[in-house]
Amino acid sequence: MNTDFDDKLDRAARQLARDISPARDLWPGIADAIATPARPSRMPIFAQAAAVVLLVGASSGLTWYWMKGQVQPVTQVSPALVFEQASFGANYSLGVDFQVARDGLAAELEVSLARLSPEARGDIEANLQIVQTAIYEINAALEQEPDNVLLQEKLLRAYREELMLLRRIGGLTRNVMMRNDI
Amino acid sequence: MEALLTMGASDYSRGMQAIQPTSSAEEARLVQRARRQDAGAFESLYRLHVGKVYGLCLRMTGNVSEAEDCTQEAFIKAWSQLVRFRGDSQFSTWLHRIAVNAVLGRMRKSKREQERLQVVDDVNATPLSTGDSGTLRDLAEAVDRLPEGARHVFVLNAVYGYTHEEAADMLGIAAGTSKAQLHRARRLLAQQLKEQGFDE
């Protein structure tokens, strides 16, 4: 319910100027705006298609370039490890030569480790554990993405690390004399 | 009258009151021409309505610069949306709705509203040039100091005569909220104006 004050307020409000001229002419700004043809809000279909093709092309090119950079070290593998490249493909099986070399070194591992002190053996076993865990995890990832070239390459590299570690262990222990060698 | 309605910007004196149409039929013809991208007809419509649109924007924003921006934005939007105007409502009502949207959009985009209130409170800025005098000027200044929601409803309902339903529709609020905001506006105005002897 309105009070006397409300009524007086309403009467006064109705007397407030409703028609107020701006201090400056606003038309020139409006005229400029409406004279400029509005930009089409949507790109034409052919432009959208071209953009998609360009995006996919650029993306593919970058990926190819990047993967090319990643693969590069494989071609520079030392002659002693060339066999690692053999038959490593989408099914991520290792080459026969690699398997023979690894199996031989693995068989010698226990004998080699036995020649070392407990501390040195602990360090080497820890390093081997790291490499083998990496191999396990990369293999698990490859089960999900069998054709992922990056994963294949990482697996190859991890196997190579393992092989080099095994060889280093053999080299380290070759000159260590055991009590029963005397 | 046709000559008056279609006169160009160069013929229009700065500060001149907006020209009032004598016939809704004349306005309807201008709208039809403007719908066909006749910029001259649209300029005539601008001349007819700029006063009320600018006044509404000025009362709602309480800021000359923002009111000018909102007025321009409203007319530019009206030009682009003219094809959608079917004449179901008055052209002025349709234009006011666009202007209210421009004001609300601008206030949503920036926090200048809050800054503006702060400035008004701090430095007691120069009163807006609204053409009001005496007691009415006190009222206009008090309205300008109202919080945003209460001010918008008071301007649309008490000053421009829109019903609560129409004001609520323009502001995107419920009619009940509009009534509550009007009550709040009156209470706040009473606090301010009674101290100035408005009630005597």
Query: At B106, is the pLDDT very low, low, confident or very high (cuts 50, 70, 90)?
Result: confident
A114 part of contact set with chain B, CB < 8 Å = no
Residue B44 scores a pLDDT above 80: yes
CB contact under 8 A, B9 and A21: no
State the pLDDT at residue A68: 65
List, as ranges, residues 33-72 from B with C-beta within 8 Å of A: 39, 42-43, 46-47, 50-52, 54-56, 58-59, 64, 67-68, 71-72
Query: At B162, is the pLDDT very low, low, confident or very high (cuts 50, 70, 90)?
Result: very high
3-state class (DSSP) for residue B179: helix
Measured between alpha carbons, how far is B137 from A17 in angstroms, rounded to an integer?
10
B62-69: average pLDDT: 91
Compare B181 and B20 and report the one with higher pLDDT: B181
**Complex ipTM, two decimals?**
0.74
- Give the least confident one: A111-115, A131-135, B18-22, B43-47: B18-22
CB contact under 8 A, A17 and B132: yes
Compare A177 and B74 and report the one with higher pLDDT: B74
Measure B26 CA to nearest chain A CA, in Å.
20
**Across chain B, what does the average pLDDT equal?**
81
Measure A31 CA to nearest chain B CA, in Å.
8
Measured between alpha carbons, how far is B92 from B20 in angstroms, rounded to an integer?
12
A7 part of contact set with chain B, CB < 8 Å = no
Using 70 as the pLDDT threshold, list the residues of chain A that sit under it: 1-2, 37-52, 55, 62, 65-96, 172-182
- Give the least confident one: A161-165, B60-64, B90-94, B107-111: B107-111
Secondary-structure percent of chain A, ordered helix, strand, coil, rounded to 5: 75, 0, 25
Q: How far is CA A150 from CA A124, A154, A157, B134, in A?
A: 27, 6, 11, 81
Measured between alpha carbons, how far is B44 from B2 in angstroms, rounded to an integer?
10
CB contact under 8 A, B161 and A12: no
B200 part of contact set with chain A, CB < 8 Å = no
Query: At B50, is the pLDDT very low, low, confident or very high (cuts 50, 70, 90)?
Result: very high
Partners of A6 on chain B (C-beta within 8 Å) are: 186
Residue B10 scores a pLDDT above 70: no
Partners of A23 on chain B (C-beta within 8 Å) are: 14-15, 64, 129
Interface test with A, best of B11, B13, B14 (most A CBs within 10 A): B14
Q: What is the per-residue pLDDT across A119-142, written as a single tens digit (0 to 9) for each?
A: 777 877 888 888 888 888 888 887
CB contact under 8 A, A23 and B193: no
- What percent of chain B has pLDDT above 70? 75
Interface test with B, best of A1, A6, A18 (most B CBs within 10 A): A18
Measured between alpha carbons, how far is B94 from B114 in angstroms, rounded to an integer?
28
CB contact under 8 A, A28 and B9: yes
CB contact under 8 A, B129 and A17: no
CB contact under 8 A, B139 and A16: yes
Nearest CA in chain B to A13: B159
Q: How far is CA B139 from CA A9, A65, B30, B49, B61, in A?
A: 8, 72, 36, 24, 15
Nearest CA in chain B to A34: B76
Torsion from C-alpha of A122, A123, A128, A133, nearest 10 degrees: 90
Q: CA nearest B44: which of B60, B20, B68, B67?
A: B20
A38 part of contact set with chain B, CB < 8 Å = yes
Measured between alpha carbons, how far is B50 from B68 in angstroms, rounded to an integer?
10
State the pLDDT at residue B168: 95
State the pLDDT at residue B182: 95
First-to-last C-alpha distance (Å) of chain A: 116
Backbone angles phi, psi at A13, to 5 degrees: -60, -35
Let me know: does B187 contact B156? Beta carbons within 8 Å.
no
Measured between alpha carbons, how far is A57 from B3 in angstroms, rounded to an integer?
61
Assigned token pair, B136: 């009415």
Secondary-structure percent of chain B, ordered helix, strand, coil, rounded to 5: 70, 0, 30
Query: At B40, is the pLDDT very low, low, confident or very high (cuts 50, 70, 90)?
Result: very high
Assigned token pair, B116: 């503006």
